Amino acid sequence: MTDTRTAWDTYATQRPDRRPVNARGETTWFNWTQYADHGPGAELLALPDRGRVLDLGCGRGGNAAHLATLGMTAVGVDVSPAQLRAARERWGDLPGLVLHQADAVEFLRRTDDEYDAVFSVYGALWFTDPDVLLPVVRERLRPGGALVFSQRPAVEGCYGCQASYIPRGEDEDPLVVKRWDFEPDVWESLLKEHGFTDVQAEVLAAPPGRRKVGTLIVQARA
Q: Residue 143 in contact with residue 172, Cβ under 8 Å?
A: no
CA 56 to CA 6: how far, in whole Å?
A: 18
**Would strands 175-181 and 160-166 be described as parallel, antiparallel, or unpaired?**
antiparallel
Could you report the per-residue pLDDT of 88-139, keeping only the tens digit for each?
999 988 999 999 999 999 999 999 999 999 999 999 999 999 999 999 999 9
List b or e across 111-145, with b for residues whose CB sees 16 or more CB atoms inside 10 angstroms.
Answer: beeebbbbbbbbbbbbbbebeebbebbbebbeeeb
Give me the residues paired with residue 41 across strands: none
Contacts 24+ apart (CB under 8 A), 202-206: 203/153, 204/32, 204/33, 204/39, 204/40, 206/35, 206/38
How is residue 194 annotated by DSSP?
T
List b or e across 85-95, with b for residues whose CB sees 16 or more CB atoms inside 10 angstroms.
Answer: bbbeebbeebe
CA distance readout (Å), 104 to 19, 24, 43: 26, 33, 23
pLDDT by residue for the chain (222 residues), tens only, comes to 468 898 898 988 888 889 999 999 999 999 999 999 999 999 999 999 999 999 999 999 999 999 999 999 999 999 999 999 999 999 988 999 999 999 999 999 999 999 999 999 999 999 999 999 999 999 999 999 999 999 999 999 999 999 999 998 888 999 999 999 999 999 999 999 999 999 999 999 999 999 999 999 999 999
pTM of the model as a whole = 0.96
CA 105 to CA 103: how far, in whole Å?
A: 6
The closest alpha carbon to 152, from 188, 181, 190, 120, belongs to 181
